[in-house]
Amino acid sequence: MTQQIQTEAVQTETVQTETVQTETPIPAQAGPVPVLPVPEQPAKPKKSRKPLLWGIARWTAAVLVCGGVGTGTAMGITAMDRTDVPGLATESDGRWEYPKLALPALPEGALRPYTDGNDGEIHHADLRKLLLPAPAGATVDPKLNGGWVGLDSYLALLKEKERGPVKQYLADSALRHVAARGWTTPDGTTTRIHLLRFSSVAFSEAFKDEVTREVSEGGRLPVGVESAEIDTATQGVDVPYLSVYSYQEDKPYGPEQTRWAYVQAGDTFAVITQTRKGGALTVPFQQTVALQAQLLG
């Protein structure tokens, strides 16, 4: 009996193996082989599978080719910079590319402003080293190349009728040094930065009060500016211990528009001016004021 069951089992395995290999319908048999459910409708005779196999082969080849092309494209995109991929380029927000900034070294034993022990808020670093450098691609003004300049360089920013009174005021305020840098960027923006160092923070604050009061009354305006309004572009510039005031030429203005800012930082007073044909841009102006303020903070 055991031998008969083993024989039937072998026959069953043989039939099942042949079924997998030939994929033909399994005939109903008696014995231990399970009987498949009978469909309601008689099965139609199958057609030749040769055309089907050829179709599967063609589709498989097509999928492999498409997959290879897709993989190659994906690898090509990942190898490219974002700005090189059409539709994925990151547009500039208008900021200029400045060099990496760092505070200059101090003389031995000197303290930075706004630190304990420097109650006078004095900038002991070389004033020229506190000037913001020109951004990439800019053309530096050879007369304002980051060195010492005379007072007339600053006075040239003002209308001629303002220069005499301001010059006398600064003489009475014991002005010590003036350093300046200027440049023009490819977009046509002309930037001028003047740093004025006074003998004490009291003189610097007094000059700040004098300048802002004059501007609010319609005076002390840059050359070419007839009327001005407060510029809110630098409201987000928040450097501890510093005072920032910014203005812009009011409409209607001529071919150029001027924006300028005052930064009072301890014993030093900064004047930042930008002029551009068609209108001075907000982003580079805000960026320039913020970076110059940080160097003085």
- pLDDT per residue, tens digit, the chain (297 aa), is 444 434 343 333 333 333 333 333 333 333 343 333 434 444 444 444 444 444 444 544 444 444 444 444 333 333 333 333 333 344 568 999 999 999 999 999 999 999 999 999 999 999 999 999 999 999 999 999 999 999 999 999 999 999 999 999 999 998 999 999 999 999 999 999 999 999 999 999 999 999 999 999 999 999 999 999 999 988 888 899 999 999 999 999 999 999 999 999 999 999 999 999 999 999 999 999 999 999 999
pLDDT for the residue numbered 92: 67
pLDDT for the residue numbered 50: 47
- Architecture in CATH of 131-296: 3-Layer(aba) Sandwich (3.40)
Residue ranges of domains in the chain: 131-296
> Whose CA is closest to 125, among 117, 113, 134, 133?
113
pTM: 0.70
Enumerate residues 6+ apart whose C-beta is below 8 A from 214.
220
pLDDT for the residue numbered 237: 87
Contacts 24+ apart (CB under 8 A), 289-293: 289/234, 289/237, 289/244, 289/246, 289/261, 289/263, 290/234, 290/236, 290/237, 290/239, 291/98, 291/101, 291/132, 292/131, 292/132, 292/193, 292/263, 293/237, 293/239, 293/242, 293/244, 293/263, 293/265
pLDDT for the residue numbered 208: 97
DSSP string, 238-259: --TT-EEEEEEEPSS--SEEEE
Largest CA distance in the chain: 129
> Whose CA is closest to 204, among 238, 168, 242?
242
pLDDT for the residue numbered 91: 52
- β-sheet with 256-265: strand ranges across: 139-148, 175-184, 190-198, 268-277, 256-265, 243-249, 228-230
- C-alpha to C-alpha distance for 257 and 250, rounded to whole angstroms: 8
- C-alpha to C-alpha distance for 57 and 135, rounded to whole angstroms: 61
Q: Do 277 and 296 meet the contact criterion of CB atoms below 8 Å apart?
A: no
pLDDT for the residue numbered 36: 38
